[in-house]
Chains A and B, each alone.
Chain A
């Protein structure tokens, strides 16, 4: 049982116009087995929250805390966070020229587990996971994300999620850019990780469609760097029907 606890988190970035506060007191608690959805307008700070949890150096935490099972996550390097069991499926996965997926996946798995996976079972695991996510076997020999379509990149993020078996995963708009079939396939991948590893998930999305597949236990409305309201799945339906006006008005 793991718990990621975010308390009154304030985050700023350095811009050319000076320091800009983007997160203005976020509090959230995600435990193993739970599915949390975050919805919010463009620019409200969702990706900032995700990147801050993973430790991107661009974001400066000015106050508040993030802990994983009581351990101070903010004290950890990016790689230490990954090894502690956090995973971020990125909104814009990055290309790494000249490095094959096979090499990358094995190296990352070794780093996360602290030991090399057994070659035979690992090769089989990768093959099976790729097949389930309907990723063509050729991708194993392609360079990481290089020339992948938007949807292919997202599938490969979920492939990693399944193989690395994190305790808590943050999915930043994994559903954006996916076709109808891919959305289902990817959602099934996330659900498998839940079922098999009792993973906790923070799912950032703009659309309720993915929530038909990945049924959230909690929905958080994110506005202007804060959680404006929390509720159950019904809150997503309300947003779908009425948009963010009610919350934007309240924030203004």
Chain B
């Protein structure tokens, strides 16, 4: 980053005056967007600055050695690397051609030791999480456990004592691999195989951090577990790996959030999330993705659900440059249920290619996908979904509803609903709507004193309300606030 930009960035952060901000932005077009993104600061970056760029076998070996992993994991990583190198970039979704894999830093260790108290963290990192409000949520007991990942590793981690006493395990994946290898030998890569897709392969090769959750039989974790992912360095590649196992009749809600500084060059976030939902268990996984608009967010998320179990994905994509993410549910047991609520917001320069995949593999399984997307200022929001019903998955039912809202005429929305039905006895429903913010709606709200961008934000909030309603209160407020930020200055 040039000195001038750095100076301008500092100046921008030290003022609230809209006039001054505008002037700085006019003089430094590279910083456009920073005004609307509140999480765009970066900490001093010693670890990142010295990190190696580019990927080869030595990088993979180095990561594995640093973590002191078992031999089988290193083998799996190497296999992942092979698949990654062999598989072509997908061309069916968003444009990924500009990702420069040689520039990416694949592993950055920012602190030597995981902290159990926020005070134990290096000051910069602690301040960052304070600014993000994570310790506060923990103090207020809005969450039952917290994992905070900074660059490649989980730097802070805590779980409520009572849950631990009930046998709930919630820790970073690296530690879990050491302490509970049996789960890993059985489940790691069982939901998302190493060669599933190019980015799952990449993740398998260089994964680091992420969460491991185990909820024992019959245990209900009533308050959500939270993970927070932060990228700090430029050209970072963050590859967390999460494995959640909900044993029979258990329940857990896992929430993740993420942010990153704004840079001129791109970072890559490529996570893999595997979830095992056993008989009659229920898992809810909520994401509020708010990466800065220089992050490629290419994530594979999948759950397998046994008989009577339920998997719910609540997937909010507000940030990133490009997101490709289609949380999947494999309904393997009778009466298993899958549900995805997806909300995507595509602003200037953003492409949100999101949706869901439901695979019915047993009789009487049901699934639903509700997708709501908003595009503005030339952004593009695509819904991409697959509903597959295998032979023998009798009396299964699926419904897909996707609604798109266009805030202006330069933005774009498209839908790619694929279905693959190999069984006659199924019930399917599909609805899709595209609406524009109507002149009359805007006029009505503005005639009640709301400025144009406030009116827009109100209409957009109303549009996604059916999904916001599903979030815990603080997250619904957060989502609304993010949307307001996104809508600021959206009209000109």
Contacts and interface: CB of A to CB of B under 8 A. Distances in A.
B461 A99 contact: yes
* Contact-residue bracket for chain B: 20 to 34
B263 to A, nearest CB: 35
A111 B454 contact: yes
A243 B345 CA distance: 55
B447 A112 contact: no
A98 B435 CA distance: 14
A195 interface: no
Interface in B421-444: 438-441, 443-444
- Residue among A88, A95, A107 with the highest chain B CB neighbour number at 10 A: A107
Contact of B443 (A57, A87, A107): A57
A185 interface: no
Interface in B453-492: 454-455, 458-459, 461-466
A54 B446 CA distance: 9
Q: Looking at B439, B444, B450, which has the most chain A CB atoms within 10 Å of its CB?
A: B444
Contacts of A88: 447
A56 B445 CA distance: 11
B447 A81 contact: yes
Contacts of B138: none
A97 B438 CA distance: 12
A208 interface: no
Contact of A58 (B439, B447, B461): B439
Interface residues of A, number: 29
Interface in B117-145: none
B392 interface: no
A93 B444 contact: yes
Contacts of B455: 79
B463 A97 contact: yes
Contacts of B466: 98
Interface string A44-85: 000000000011111000000000000000000111011100
Nearest to A95: B441
Given A78-B447, A81-B447, A111-B451, A57 B439 contact: yes
Given A57-B439, A78-B443, A90-B444, A96 B459 contact: yes
Contact of B461 (A79, A94, A98): A98
A108 interface: yes
Interface string B320-346: 000000000000000000000000000
Given A77-B452, A98-B466, A55 B461 contact: no
A222 interface: no
A212 to B, nearest CB: 29
Contacts of B463: 97-98
Contacts of A164: 448-449
Interface string B355-381: 000000000000000000000000000
Contact of A96 (B441, B449, B464): B441
Interface of B: 438-441, 443-452, 454-455, 458-459, 461-466
Top 9 nearest A-B pairs by Cβ distance? A98-B462, A98-B465, A111-B449, A108-B448, A112-B449, A78-B446, A99-B462, A94-B444, A82-B449
13 contacts: A55-B446, A55-B447, A78-B443, A79-B446, A79-B450, A81-B447, A82-B446, A83-B449, A88-B447, A98-B464, A104-B445, A112-B448, A143-B462
Interface of A: 54-58, 77-79, 81-83, 87-88, 90, 93-99, 104, 107-108, 111-112, 143, 160, 164
Given A55-B443, A93-B444, 19 more contacts: A55-B446, A56-B443, A79-B451, A82-B449, A90-B444, A94-B444, A95-B441, A97-B465, A98-B461, A98-B465, A104-B458, A107-B454, A108-B450, A111-B448, A111-B449, A111-B450, A111-B454, A112-B449, A164-B448
